[in-house]
Structure 1
């Protein structure tokens, strides 16, 4: 089965390999690109720093090295792994689910009070404030440093090629990893075809929040991954493949 991969090209190699191993065909359709921001933190010392994504780690480590801090947290396992790969010790992160809610639920985060906290994140088109507001409720002072921005990818021949091949089959899966990615998918696709054609295909998304958004714009065939990771995407593909084989053999 064809799987349309919408992540930035520089971040999709591992997922591409996993999709191939699962017996499906990956098609590249980059919806976003990441541009670094020449940013700096307001202070030289923070009690706590939090990285909201692996991208924030990649673009924020240079700033981290210019400051001192007592504790460091990651929003999920992929972000924590990126920190570890860069020899940065992590105090804690949610093991089961990568989300602001899961991070706030950790005992090690729930006990933070009267701390000065810096959150490393990207600049998107309407980011969530869940983590910041949750920390403020615990009487913490919270600041952001935005170290990259997500912008829509320029349309090119790869988009035409992948979309044309994807539409050759009535079956196919579109992988969506963020609301920004979905918005850009529609922006790019609308220059190629009637986007209503895409509503016939199954979307695999990383969270209930993304599902709520895509449902609101008319996409009804949606499955949410068990966790917000590449493994979560592959587990859905594997289950679909198993179900398809079972139906065909019955």
Structure 2
């Protein structure tokens, strides 16, 4: 089965290999590219540092080296792994689910009060984490270290889309709402987005599912977690099913 991989080109290699090992055929269709943002902080010390994604780690390391801090928190296991690979000690992170809500529920986070907190993230995004921390009496700042930009259309996009549409069966992997918006923008310039509405979307969260349902994509499955393994587990289940899948 064809699996359309829509992550940025530099981040898709590991997932590609896992898709092949699962017995499926990966097709590259990058929808976003990441650009670093140059920024200087006004302060050089914070009580707590929080990284909201592995990308935030990748683009925030240079800034992190120039500030002091007491604790480092990560939004999930993939972000924590990226920190560990760069020899940064992580004090805590949600073990089962990567999300702002799960982070706010950690005992170590509910106990934070009257702290200065710096959140590393990409440009834009949700305010859930910041608002939750402020309610606990903390001072919270963002440092936005990268931005997501829609990819320009390339021959690869045209080729992958043509191959994908040749089969009536296929899966599209969607990792964020921005990812989905860029997919729609690119596909509409090549073909017509309605042609993809008959295919299954595999998404990383209920929040993404709600969005894609709102734009009339009805065949959607949510991964059990936000890692590559979560995506592969859904593909493996699909490969072994002998009855129609129920979508909600």
Q: TM (normalized to structure 2)?
A: 0.97
Unmatched segments (≥5 aa) in structure 2? none
Q: Name 2:206's counterpart in structure 1.
A: 208
1:40 to partner: Cα distance: 2.2
Equivalent-residue separation in structure 2 for 1:181 and 1:118 (angstroms): 25
Listed as ranges, the gaps of 5+ residues in structure 1 are none
Are 1:177 and 2:186 counterparts?
Answer: no
Q: Residues 26-65 of structure 1 correspond to what in structure 2 (within 5 A)? A: 26-65=26-65
Question: For residues 40 and 100 of structure 1, what CA distance do their matches in structure 2 show?
Answer: 25
The residue that corresponds to 2:72 in the other structure is 72
**What are the within-5 Å matches in structure 2 for residues 1-250 of structure 1?**
1-124=1-124, 127-243=125-241, 246-247=242-243
Once the two structures are TM-superposed, the CA of residue 247 in structure 1 deviates from its matched residue by 4.8
Question: Deviation of residue 41 (structure 1)?
Answer: 2.2
Q: For the residues of structure 2 that align with 1:40 and 1:242, how far apart are their CA atoms? A: 51
TM-score with structure 1 setting the length: 0.96
After superposition, what is the alpha-carbon deviation per residue over 1:110-141, rounded to whole angstroms, capped at 9, x for unaligned?
100010000000014xx100000010110100
Greater Cα shift, 99-108 or 39-48? 39-48
- Which SS does the other structure have where 2:66 is aligned? coil
CA deviations 1:2-59 (Å, max 9, x no partner) are 0000000000001001000000000000000000000122310000000000000000
> How many angstroms does 1:194 deviate by?
1.3
2: CA distance between counterparts of 1:175 and 1:16?
11
How far apart, CA to CA, are the structure 1 residues paired with 2:214 and 2:108? 36
- What is the alpha-carbon root mean square deviation over aligned residues? 0.9
Aligned mates of 1:117, 1:247 — CA distance in 2? 50
Secondary structure, in 3 states, of the residue corresponding to 1:218? coil
Aligned to 2:7, the other structure's residue is in SS state coil
In 2, distance between residues paired with 1:48 and 1:184?
33
In 1, Cα distance between the equivalents of 2:40 and 2:149? 21
Q: Deviations over 1:80-121 (max 9, x none)?
A: 000000000000001100000010011011100010000000
Moved over 4 A (4+): none
Moved more, 174-183 or 35-44: 35-44
Q: How many residues align?
A: 244
Q: What are the superposed Cα offsets for residues 212-231 of structure 1, whole Å, 9 maximum, x if unpaired? A: 00000010000000011111
| Cα-to-partner distance string for 1:60-91 (whole Å, 9 max, x where unaligned) | 01000000000000000000000000000000
Secondary structure at the residue paired with 1:191? Answer: helix
